[in-house]
Copies of this chain bind each other. A is one copy, B any other.
C-alpha cells in the first residue's frame, strides 16, 4: 500500500488541507496513529486527535474542522466514516483476486471448473465437483465428490467440504472450517452406540460468510441449510438438519443443536447455545452465553441460561447479586417475628 494524499482525495472526492504529496503506506486506528499512516475522524469525541495524531493523513468530516491548517494533511469530506469505508473497499479490491491453477494440485478429471478460477497448491478436488467462475480456492483445501461451489467464492486454506455439499455464489469460508462432517447420531443398545448413517448434505446459500474453525454437520437425511446473507463468526457449531434463514448474524463459539430452525435477521451472541428441535423466529436477539431451550417468538430479546426475557434476567440478576442481603432481611423478619411472639 502506497498512496499520496492527492490520490486518496481523488478516490473520495475530498478537499486537501496541507501537503498533497504526503505519502501513506498503511492505516491506523485513530487512537494509535502512526507516522506514514492514514486514519479518519468522523465523530466529535475523536476531534482532539486532529491536533495530536501522529498520522500523516487524516480523512475528516468537514463539520469537525475549525482551523486553517493542521499538522497532518487533512482530506475534508462530508462523512469521513463513509469515505473511509469506500477507500477500504477499494483497497481490498486492489489487493487483487488470485487466478490460475498452481502446480501440485489434485483435480479429478471429471471436475468442472469455471473461468478465471484460482486453485492453490496441495488442494484436492474430487470427482464431479463443479466450481463457478471467479471463485478462489486457496491452498490445501479438500473438496469431496459432487460438491458444487458457486461463482466468486473465496474458500481459504484448510477448509474441508465433504461429499455432496452445495455452496452458493459470493460466499466466503475461512480457514479450517469443516462443512458437511457427519451429524452426531447414534442408536444406543446394550453393547454400545451404533452409528446412524448421515446421508444428507449442507446447503449454503448466496452471500454467506463463515469464519474460521467452524463445524457445519450434514443432515441425517435432507440438508442442513444456511440462508442467504447470513454471517457466521469463528468456532461455531451448526448441527445436523439445522435450518438457518436469511441475514442472521451469529457470534463466535455459539452452538446450535440438531434440527433447530432459525428465522431471519436474528442476532445470536457469542457462546450462546440453542437446543435441538426448537424454532427461533425473526429479529430475535440472544445475549452472549445464553442457553435457549424453548422456541422463541419474533422480536424477543433473551438472556440467561436457561434464557428468559433479557429485561427480566437483568432485574432478577440484580437481586441475585444482593442475595446475601436479601437473606439477611428474611433472617431479620423471622427474628423480629419471634421477638413479637415471645413478647
Tally chain A residues at the interface, Cβ within 8 Å: 101
Determine whether A83 belongs to the interface, using a CB cutoff of 8 Å to chain B.
Answer: no
| Residues of chain B with a CB closer than 8 A to A235's CB | 213, 215, 235, 237, 255
When the two chains form their complex, are residues B193 and A247 in contact, meaning their CB atoms are under 8 A apart?
Answer: yes
How many copies of this chain are found per oligomer? Answer: 3
* Closest chain B residue, CB of each to CB of A246: B192
**Docked CA distance A305–B303 (Å):** 10
Determine whether A118 belongs to the interface, using a CB cutoff of 8 Å to chain B.
Answer: no
Determine whether A70 belongs to the interface, using a CB cutoff of 8 Å to chain B.
Answer: no
Knowing A104-B104, A229-B193, the reply to whether A211 touches B181 (Cβ < 8 A) is: yes
Determine whether A155 belongs to the interface, using a CB cutoff of 8 Å to chain B.
Answer: no
1/0 contact trace for A320-332 toward B, CB 8 Å? Answer: 1111101101100
**Docked CA distance A329–B326 (Å):** 11
1/0 contact trace for A72-95 toward B, CB 8 Å? Answer: 000000000000010011011000
| Residues of chain B with a CB closer than 8 A to A213's CB | 176, 178, 213-215, 235
20 of the cross-chain contacts (CB-CB < 8 Å) are A29-B222, A104-B106, A121-B124, A122-B140, A124-B140, A140-B142, A156-B162, A175-B181, A184-B211, A184-B234, A193-B247, A193-B249, A212-B215, A215-B234, A235-B235, A235-B237, A239-B252, A316-B323, A319-B327, A320-B323
Give residues in A with beta carbon < 8 Å to B: 27-29, 32, 39, 85, 88-89, 91-92, 102, 104, 106, 120-122, 124, 138-140, 142, 156-158, 160, 162, 172, 174-176, 178, 181-182, 184, 186-187, 192-193, 195-197, 199-200, 207, 209, 211-215, 217, 219-222, 228-229, 231, 233-235, 237, 239, 241, 246-247, 249, 251-253, 255, 257, 270-271, 273, 275, 288-289, 291, 293, 305-306, 308, 312, 315-317, 319-324, 326-327, 329-330, 333-334, 336-337
